[in-house]
Amino acid sequence: MQNLSAIPTLEALSGLISCLRPGDDLERYLHDDSGVRCDGQPSLVFRPSTPGQVADIVRACHREDRALTIQGGRSGMAGGAIPDKDDVVISLELLDQVEEFDTVGGTITVQAGIVLENLCALVEAQGWYFPLDLGARGSCQIGGNVATNAGGNRVLRYGTMRELVLGLEVVLADGTVLSMMNKGLKNNTGLDLKHLFIGTEGTLGVITRVVLRLFPRPLRRYSALAAVNDFERITQVLKAARARLPELSSFEVMWREYLVAAGQVLKKTPPFEARYPIYILLETESGGSSQSASALEDFLGDLLERGQVVDVIIPQTQEQADSLWKFRGSIGEILRTMQPYLAFDIGIPLQSMQRFIDVVGARLSQAYPGARNLFFGHLGDGNLHLSTGPHAPGDLLAIEELVYGEVQCVGGSISAEHGIGRIKKPFLKYSRGASERLVMQQIKRVLDAQGGLNKHRVIDV
């Protein structure tokens, strides 16, 4: 049992740990990339630089019954990093050290605040590779990637963050430090507790340290863009690619309207002048052998001969490949032209994908004829993105109900990779049944009886 009298107060800690208060410049701690903003100001913003300082802050919050908001890079799209008025905030931005880099076994132990892009550059300089890749790579932090079970462009080959994490250290709601710093692939010693904290968005504990799995750095990447006439061809190409291209890392799909919108914001003519209905952007990774390049070319040549694709672009330089990926990655610029908008991140079974797109597209077009509806996504793992706008603010809730209702009809997920946070919490019922939500509440009560960790996110207790 903890000696409560020995636990420093928050006020005492504010003099020992980097801390900001109302009156300081708190602007960047009041919002994230979702556009949601704090109504008021937090009472304290702590910026700990060691895991021990995190534990001290959490311990003091628990003793003083204070609500605690955990922030990483604030790049989330579900409002999960937004504090309530008078919350205590822990920003992990200074908790960014590499603690151990095992260049023999291929693991790296890092603190939770290290930025994804910095981590990737560091390991690649030593011939290793961390495959997670997101549009927010320059600002998102590893702790946040773990807390949201981030996916990104290469899930098809490497899996989500859940498959890339070997070990964790977590501070529980009462300040207890739970060390699960496993460094091996195999560890069958009972319940694997780290999975309680991956993807639960800081509602069960504060992630402070992570052991990550690394891979040998690929020497070359090969990209290609293929055009198809209907969605059935996409599923055929995906199956064939997974069978014939063992080095396949990405399988991205863009519908014509998305490619047109990307060309407009990039001020470039879209590939194929956007004259086909659907486009597949593929990427393979290899050790640099000539066979890897020819394998992709031969594969696409066979598809053309059989009529499964109708046109192909194979870049001859990395600059040309980067140009294709800029079309896929231009959603941020596109959304700025569609405000007020809704950006859906949903998981749809492939067998139901075309029906879902047809039904939702038709319903949105009929009800909101002035809006654009853009479909794209990581179709290799069933992750579909739908961006729709501009819309009147008063219509946004009805549109969410429309889309999530159709997601429920096909047995999909209302969040494939962005998490639930605050924004999607009212719609969790469309993906999780009553019994599932009850168990989630029970686990939350066991690990955080006061309910102070990331309160009002994911599920109410």
pLDDT averaged over every residue in the chain: 94
The pLDDT confidence band at residue 2, using thresholds 50, 70 and 90, is low
At 65-110, the pLDDT tens digits run 999 999 999 999 899 999 999 999 999 999 999 999 999 999 999 9
pLDDT in tens, 178-218: 999 999 888 888 999 999 999 999 999 999 999 999 999 99
pTM of the model: 0.92
Question: What pLDDT was estimated at residue 117?
Answer: 97
Helix (H, G, I), strand (E, B) or coil at 311: strand
Per-residue model confidence as pLDDT tens digits over 326-340: 999 898 899 999 999
Nearest to 70 by CA among 204, 160, 195: 204
Distance CA(219)–CA(288), nearest Å, equals 5
Residue 7 reports pLDDT greater than 90:
no
The dihedrals phi and psi of 325, each to the nearest 5 degrees, come to -70, -25
Asked if 98-216 and 220-332 have one fold, the answer is no
At the second CATH level, the architecture of 98-216 is: 2-Layer Sandwich (3.30)
Average pLDDT over residues 54-67: 97
Rounded CA separation 237/309 (Å) = 8
> How many whole angstroms separate alpha carbon 101 and alpha carbon 208?
17
Instruction: Specify the pLDDT at position 290.
Output: 66
Nearest to 414 by CA among 439, 399, 400, 431: 431
In this prediction, residues 390-409 reach a mean pLDDT of: 96
Instruction: For residue range 265-319, list pLDDT tens digits in order.
Output: 999 999 999 999 999 999 999 876 667 778 999 999 999 999 999 999 999 999 9
pLDDT higher than 90, residue 461: no
450 contact partners, CB below 8 Å, separation of at least 6: 62, 65, 173
What proportion of the chain, given as a percentage, has pLDDT over 70?
Answer: 98
What is the sign of the dihedral through the CA atoms of 230, 235, 241 and 247? Answer: positive
Instruction: Provide the 8-state DSSP code for 47.
Output: -
Decide if domain 220-332 falls under CATH 3.30.70.2190: yes
How many residues does this entry show for the chain? 461
**30, 83 Cβ separation under 8 angstroms:** yes
Mean pLDDT to the nearest integer, 345-369: 95
- Judged by DSSP in three states, 378 sits in strand
Contact partners, residue 171, CB within 8 Å, separation at least 6: 51, 54, 55, 58, 177, 178, 205, 206, 208
Strands 165-171 and 206-213: antiparallel
Question: What kind and span of H or E run contains 258?
Answer: helix 256-266
Of 361, 351, 344, the closest CA to residue 415 belongs to 344
The two structure tokens encoding residue 22: 């109302």
pLDDT band at 1 (very low <50, low <70, confident <90, very high): very low
pLDDT of residue 135: 83
pLDDT-above-90 percentage for the chain? 87
> Where does residue 39 rank: exposed (0-12), middle (13-18), buried (19+ CB within 10 A)?
exposed
pLDDT band at 3 (very low <50, low <70, confident <90, very high): low
Question: Distance between CA atoms of 152 and 144, rounded to whole angstroms?
Answer: 13
What mean pLDDT do residues 147-174 have? 94
Taking residues 7-32, what's their average pLDDT? Answer: 94
Q: Are 107 and 183 in contact (CB under 8 A)?
A: yes
What pLDDT shows up at residue 458? 95
Label residue 91 left, alpha or beta by phi (over 0 means left) and psi (-120 to 50 means alpha).
Answer: beta
Please name the fold of domain 338-430: Alpha-Beta Plaits (3.30.70)
CATH node for 4-93: 3.30.43.10
Q: Measured between alpha carbons, how far is 36 from 345 in angstroms, rounded to an integer?
A: 17
Whether the Cβ atoms of residue 100 and residue 108 lie closer than 8 Å to each other: yes
Q: What is the full DSSP assignment across 167-229?
A: EEEEE-TTS-EEEE---SS---SS--GGGGTTTSTTSS-EEEEEEEE-EEPPSEEEEEEEEES
Question: Cα–Cα distance between 287 and 300 in angstroms, integer?
Answer: 20
Domain boundaries, the chain: 4-93, 98-216, 220-332, 338-430
pLDDT at 186 (0 to 100): 85
User: Any bridge partners for residue 389, and if so which?
Assistant: 372
pLDDT at 94: 98
Nearest C-alpha neighbor of 374 from the set 328, 433, 406, 316: 328
